[in-house]
Structure 1
Amino acid sequence: MPRHATRFTITALTSALLLSACASLEPQAITEEQNRQRIVDDQARMYRDQEPVTTPITFYEAAARALKYNLDYRLKLMESALASDLRDVSSHEMLPRLVASAGYAGRNNDSGGTSIGIEDREESLRPSTSEDRYRTLYGLGLSWSLLDFGVAYYRTQQKADQMLMADERRRKVAQNVLQDVRNAYWRALAAQRLMPEVDQLLARTHRALTQAREAENKGLLPRQEILAYQRALLDSVYLLTVRRQDLEFAQAELSALMSLPPKTRMVLADMPEPQLPQIGAGIDQLELLSLQNRPEIMEEWYRKRVNEKDLKIAKAQLWPNVTFDYGYRYDSNSLAYNSHWNATGLQVSMNLLKLLQLPSLNAAQASQGNTDDMRRIALSMAILTQVRVGALRYQLARQEVTFSDESLRVDQSLLNYAQAAQRNNLGSELELIRAEGRYLLSRYQREAAFSSAQAAWGRLYNSIGLDILPAEIDKHDVKTLANEIHRTLNEQEQKRLLVTQQGTPYAQPSL
């Protein structure tokens, strides 16, 4: 076969292979079976390795389950681990490069050459070669670059700061989860207490409403009076139904926060209500604690250091780069006098035009620092506002609990009076149902006021940024973790929120 025909055949085969490779890069949609399998796998991973619910759940156990199994918190844990791994990867980039190589070289003819005189341009040597057509090559080289070392050094510091930022985000998620649990738990407990009574009263109200309609049709009572009773019953049904929906939502929210598997029966521990704490720390001390502990402020501080490293890297690239190379080489060329040798090199290079960037980098560094400081200061001001509003909201929530206790006492007395005055006639039965409805609504309002006060306390605790967890929660079971959360919360509250070092009382803030 002629040489040009052989080359054409090789070219055609190569083109066919490239085209077939490009065709295989067409987008491949996920099949329905793959999608179903993904759903099954994801659902299994959502609830994998969870401790079963065997006893009534206390508040601290609910918090422990939420923090141990909450998917958002687990995601932040993985992000922290990823940041740590990336820091370790960056630290290895500071090491010199040690490259081992092996290869095979060949050609279909001899390389070689001749030489001509510089002055007379006459050929002085006949064509010759000093290289075999086919030979093997080996090498082991060590190289080190000053610029690469400096960039890797700053990158490693950046990754370390980003790891700390990830830890602060994990802290914030943990604090938010605890706040959400505190808000949902007491509403869910109120639902567990009230829903059976609400359901019973709704059934009685529907029966009374049916009786009232029958009395209207038979003319047993004046029409205006019976319609007024029906209106009162319908209002009671509406209010009770709305409150019942709120109670159901609270239970569903708490179950989702704890990542309980579907159809898991959730029973909360119906223990006596804890006493609402009275704040003993002054507003100035609370603000100082928030500036010291809030994860967002610490994250902004680390972000400023990351931004500073970016500008330091840009400046490092302006200066001369020193590269050192040392290596061992082997060539199987039989025509070479030395088939193996050691190679050493030292090179200094610098892009002089890059020095023109120095004034702009200095200006950018100043602007970046001012921007980072202003962002942190603005965030600090927002946090101080949160602390003041949170403290005031908690005080108002405590007052609302006191008012709801008084309302519940009055409605309890009215219910007792209606029960004592009940007669065997329709009007008294309807009045008793209305009294029971008012009493249940008062109980709901009292439970809602208490849960709101707990939520306000949780927001105040969260606005200060106090920690609630041990270093590693995966090593603790739910019971141990619940005890640790209980101990930590009590310790933080007793030392930092309820009393001061000077024993000064808390002054209600003015907005």
Structure 2
Amino acid sequence: MSPTERLERIEQDQQAMFVDQEPVTGELSLAEAIGRGLKYNLEARVRRMETALALGQTELSSYDMLPQLAASAGYTRRSNVLASRSEIVDASSVPSFASTSQDREQTTAEVELVWNLLDFGVSFYTAKQDADRRLIAEQRREKVVNKLIQDIRSSYWRVAAAQQVEKQLEIVLQDARDSLDDARRIETERLRSPIQSLRVQRSLLSLIEQLETLESELKVARTQLSELAGLKPGTEYRVDESVVLAFQPVRFEADIENLERTALMNRPEILEESYNHRIAQRESRKALLRMLPGLEFFASYNYSSNSYLLNNEWGEVGAMVNWNLFNLFSGPAAMDLAEQRELLAERRRQALSMAVLAQVNLAMHQYGTELGKYERAQEMARIDGRINEVTAIGVENSAGSRMDQVNAETTALMSELKRLRAAAAVQDAYGKVMTAIGVSLAPEAIEDNSLQSVTQAVSARLETLERGPEAVVDSI
């Protein structure tokens, strides 16, 4: 491809990636962010197209079970007459006159219907296998969609947490920079000992570095959320902070055995291996069918313009048995191979089931751990907030230094951000519990494909998820 062709491709791709996207109006809610991801995320689009392609392959395979209906027509012309002589067997060496039974020019037509019983059986099982492959494509799409929603939830909470402290961050960062300028001036004017001034500057530079890292994380989180939600990079938007302000962790006493049973029944990975096992079973039946003789029925309508024929049109029906005897030798090996694949699929499903059980228990343990971290971070933020208030009062009463206040402000800001991150971690861990037990985070029914309908369906789904795993399991 020439550079011009590559540039044209780039322009076409950039236009196609963001075509027909509804602009962000107002604050971006969590439900809308997930809805945009489901509707506009390019990877989700690819998975939807793969599922549609698998459905088309399933429909195409079903046509292989139909009989073959073939129509043909032709024209022939010889350069001379098709003449022949016959010999009388009981009177040797007595030739007959030359004769012909075919015109030099003739046209023919034929319509033939052929149905092979063996091909029908093989095509029947192939269609069933393709139907299972379509179900596998759906399970893989669901797994990708669940991961997409999980990533959007995590990124959204990080953006909301960073946005919550954004203004305070700018104030504290400016105070730290002003304090650094004062410390440098004090060192220049030798108002304090050099070592003391340098230590103050070093502490302030360390604080500024931490604050600038937080500022950078806000921009990174926004970019990640834009990518996941299918927004064009550089799009300006603000998220709805009420989801952070109204955060209350979900507390529940779950029956772990019930959750494990739900996971084994609904996890996309388990269902995928179950379909693979069924495909392997049907491959064994196809191998058995190929060892049998094929019974073929046919019916045809024929026409020939040959003037020597008494009947220029005629119908023909018949049956034929054909059998590839070499299949008797290769058949047992094919059967053994199919049975080994079937056994492998079964063992893979069992191994995956063991991993799923471990994931359920691990997700529950992680959720409890993150919940404890959030409670400690909440208490730490409260304490550091009080320290900041007391320090500010002390500075106003000349009982403390500006450096102490900057330290207290920074520590309080970091503690608050840590609390918000802990809240995001709790939400992320809860989403992993839902994913571990096989609960789809995507809405089941959507009225139409508009962004508003998708957002409303996602919002209703999120409300259901907030009632706890047992309530979600009961609603399945």
Task: Normalising by structure 2, report the TM-score.
Answer: 0.93
Alignment partner for residue 437 of structure 2, among 459, 464, 469? 464
Name the aligned partner's letter for residue 96 of structure 2. L
Alignment partner for residue 296 of structure 1, among 259, 269, 280? 269
- Bigger mean CA deviation after superposition, 475-484 or 411-420: 475-484
Pair 116,442 (structure 1): closer, same or farther in 2 beyond 3 Å: same
Contact in 1 for aligned 2:103/2:306 (Cα 8 Å): yes
Pair 489,425 (structure 1): closer, same or farther in 2 beyond 3 Å: closer
Q: CA offset at residue 143 of structure 1?
A: 0.9
Specify the alignment match of 1:314 in structure 2.
287
Say which SS state the counterpart of residue 249 (structure 1) adopts.
Answer: helix
Name the aligned partner's letter for residue 478 of structure 1. L
Pair 190,491 (structure 1): closer, same or farther in 2 beyond 3 Å: closer
Alignment partner for residue 397 of structure 1, among 349, 364, 370? 370
Alignment partner for residue 414 of structure 2, among 413, 430, 441? 441
Say which SS state the counterpart of residue 421 (structure 1) adopts.
Answer: helix
Is 1:283 the counterpart of 2:256 in the alignment?
yes
Specify the alignment match of 1:126 in structure 2.
97
Alignment partner for residue 61 of structure 1, among 32, 39, 44? 32
Give unpaired runs (5+ residues) of structure 2.
Answer: none
Pair 248,468 (structure 1): closer, same or farther in 2 beyond 3 Å: same
Q: How many angstroms apart in 2 are the aligned matches of 1:473 and 1:52?
A: 21
Alignment partner for residue 451 of structure 1, among 390, 400, 424? 424
Say which SS state the counterpart of residue 415 (structure 2) adopts.
Answer: helix
Q: CA offset at residue 104 of structure 1?
A: 1.6
Specify the alignment match of 2:321 in structure 1.
348
Q: How many angstroms apart in 1 are the aligned matches of 2:128 and 2:437?
A: 29
Q: How many angstroms apart in 2 are the aligned matches of 1:128 and 1:435?
A: 119
Q: CA offset at residue 473 of structure 1?
A: 4.3
Q: CA offset at residue 67 of structure 1?
A: 1.4
Is 1:169 the counterpart of 2:140 in the alignment?
yes
Alignment partner for residue 368 of structure 1, among 313, 325, 341? 341
Q: CA offset at residue 325 of structure 1?
A: 1.4
Matches within 5 A, 1:106-505: 106-118=77-89, 122=93, 124-271=95-242, 272-422=245-395, 428-471=401-444, 473=446, 475-491=448-464, 494=467, 496-497=469-470
Q: Deviations over 1:152-196 (max 9, x none)?
A: 111111111111111211221221111111111110111222233
Contact in 2 for aligned 1:255/1:266 (Cα 8 Å): no
May I ask how many residue pairs the two structures share in their alignment?
Answer: 472
Name the aligned partner's letter for residue 259 of structure 1. G
Specify the alignment match of 2:22 in structure 1.
51
Contact in 2 for aligned 1:279/1:499 (Cα 8 Å): no
Pair 59,165 (structure 1): closer, same or farther in 2 beyond 3 Å: same
Contact in 2 for aligned 1:175/1:465 (Cα 8 Å): no
Q: CA offset at residue 275 of structure 1?
A: 0.8
Q: CA offset at residue 284 of structure 1?
A: 1.6
Q: How many angstroms apart in 2 are the aligned matches of 1:444 and 1:495?
A: 26
Contact in 1 for aligned 2:434/2:469 (Cα 8 Å): no
Pair 146,275 (structure 1): closer, same or farther in 2 beyond 3 Å: same
Contact in 1 for aligned 2:150/2:428 (Cα 8 Å): yes
Provide the alpha-carbon RMSD of the alignment: 2.3
Give unpaired runs (5+ residues) of structure 1.
Answer: 1-29, 502-511
Contact in 2 for aligned 1:466/1:492 (Cα 8 Å): no
Is 1:94 the counterpart of 2:65 in the alignment?
yes
Pair 499,267 (structure 1): closer, same or farther in 2 beyond 3 Å: closer
Name the aligned partner's letter for residue 448 of structure 2. K
Q: CA offset at residue 482 of structure 1?
A: 2.7
Q: How many angstroms apart in 2 are the aligned matches of 1:37 and 1:383?
A: 47
Q: How many angstroms apart in 1 are the aligned matches of 2:132 and 2:436?
A: 24
Q: CA offset at residue 455 of structure 1?
A: 0.8
Q: How many angstroms apart in 1 are the aligned matches of 2:179 and 2:330?
A: 85
Identity value in percent: 33
Q: CA offset at residue 119 of structure 1?
A: 6.3
Contact in 1 for aligned 2:102/2:308 (Cα 8 Å): yes
Contact in 1 for aligned 2:378/2:419 (Cα 8 Å): yes
Contact in 1 for aligned 2:252/2:468 (Cα 8 Å): no
Q: CA offset at residue 405 of structure 1?
A: 1.2
Q: How many angstroms apart in 2 are the aligned matches of 1:495 and 1:205?
A: 44
Q: How many angstroms apart in 1 are the aligned matches of 2:85 and 2:67?
A: 41
Q: CA offset at residue 495 of structure 1?
A: 6.8
Task: Normalising by structure 1, report the TM-score.
Answer: 0.87
Name the aligned partner's letter for residue 19 of structure 2. R
Q: Deviations over 1:239-298 (max 9, x none)?
A: 122222222221111111110123322211121332110122122222111111101101
Say which SS state the counterpart of residue 246 (structure 2) adopts.
Answer: coil
Name the aligned partner's letter for residue 108 of structure 1. S
Q: How many angstroms apart in 2 are the aligned matches of 1:108 and 1:418?
A: 115
